[in-house]
Amino acid sequence: MALSKIDVANMVENEMPQANIANNINFRNIIINGGMDLAQRGTSATTLALSSGGFRYNDVDRFCVNAGNVSSGQVSTQQIDSGLTGFPKAKRITVTTAQASPAANGYLAIVQGVEGQNLQYLKYGTSDALPLTMSFYVRSSVTGNFTGNIIQIDSRPSQNRAFPYNYTINSANTWEKKTISISADANGIIDNDNGIAFEINFTYLYIGSDYSNGTLNVWNSNPSANSYINNVTRVNLLATSGATFDITGVQLEAGTTASDFEFLPPDVNLQRCQRYFQTYTQPPLRGVINAGNSLGRAGMVLPVPMRSAPTASSGALPVFDGSSISTVSSIGVSYNTIHKVEFDLTLASSVMVVGRGGIVYQGGSETLTLSAEL
């Protein structure tokens, strides 16, 4: 008996091997720009003094240097060509001024912060909380034991919940992949808001003894905030002038297995980064000269809504009213929202016509930047 086309199709379908799509979930990577591809602020090396605390965003989007209480050591940070197949870009830290011994309260780490509303599916604080797996590629001129952690910021100050982990770089100047298993936290605290919930210190390159009371590979709870790492010998990259540390291919996902890195289209990656930072060399600002001829107001609708109402900075952007040109000397941001910006502009000269429309444009290398970083 002849088989119908439907019978043949069913037989072929039943005999074909089925793809394993258990972890084929869009945006499974909690980390944004983990391939280090986007660097809206620029790619050249920036040297950082590290004495005062705080996040320093200088090159690769969403990845910053978190440092403080480093009295004399300095580093430079930049986006580089990695030479690693599949990951063209990486973030590099280079020691420019050495500091042999860490201060007890000193620290230097490569960090990304994550919003609480992006982590609700982890169900922290319940018996259904999910485990996590982190994977990344690292390369350093110095071998040995390195450390990192995840800190639950919403648990401060009463608990300071932190998960410390260690890993080893075995060969100098060689890319190595590392995988970290992170247990579920049934007692965790993650608020459902746009504030920072996870502070992910991927690697500490310098850290003092004040933080070394933690237990490895578990969620520590310690109101004294001294359980961020455990008390073992680790690499102090700042001890070696010229030492380098590179990182790329960073992924953090729910589950107990590291899946292949989730590559996103460049336009999608840009939009995710623009939630936190936007830069314009040709800002689409339009407005009027509205109070004397040295003041103006101009605004724009944002292409991507930002995490919060952004702060702004600009160079001496030119303003043209149809007959005269001035430049912006300062910019006010009182009217900004997550969807739009509306600036009060102070102009450097009084040559404009009151009430006349004007445009802000690029006259050279000037930029307008908007920041809503965590």
310-351 residue pLDDT tens? 999 998 989 888 888 999 999 988 789 999 999 988 998 888
Contact 323, 304 (CB under 8 A): no
Report pTM: 0.91
Assess whether 212 and 357 both reside in one domain.
no
Assess whether 193 and 336 both reside in one domain.
no
Q: Provide the 3-class DSSP secondary structure of residue 215.
A: coil
Assess whether 75 and 198 both reside in one domain.
yes
The β-bridge relationship of strands 132-140 and 176-182 is: antiparallel
Assess whether 222 and 289 both reside in one domain.
no
Look at residue 2 and tell me whether its pLDDT is greater than 90.
no
Assess whether 175 and 321 both reside in one domain.
no
Backbone angles phi, psi at 48, to 5 degrees: -115, 130
Q: Where does the pLDDT of residue 106 fall: very low under 50, low under 70, confident under 90, or very high at 90 and above?
A: very high
Domain boundary among 217, 246, 274: 274
Alpha-carbon span 253 to 257, nearest angstrom: 9
Assess whether 297 and 265 both reside in one domain.
no
Q: Can you give the CATH number for the domain in which 134 is found?
A: 2.60.120.260
Exposure on the CB side of residue 301, measured as CA atoms within 13 A? 1
Assess whether 175 and 312 both reside in one domain.
no
Q: What is the mean pLDDT of residues 278-303?
A: 86
For 39-93, write each residue's pLDDT tens digit: 999 999 999 999 999 999 999 999 999 999 999 999 999 999 999 999 999 999 9
Assess whether 128 and 83 both reside in one domain.
yes
Q: Which of 75-84, 207-216, 286-295, 365-374 has the lowest mean pLDDT?
A: 286-295
Q: Does some domain include residue 349?
A: yes
Look at residue 172 and tell me whether its pLDDT is greater than 90.
yes
Domain boundary among 255, 274, 293: 274
Assess whether 163 and 248 both reside in one domain.
yes
Range of 224's domain?
Answer: 46-274
Alpha-carbon span 23 to 128, nearest angstrom: 18
Alpha-carbon span 104 to 209, nearest angstrom: 5
Domain count, the chain: 2
pLDDT of residue 263: 97
Assess whether 216 and 334 both reside in one domain.
no
Look at residue 6 and tell me whether its pLDDT is greater than 70.
no
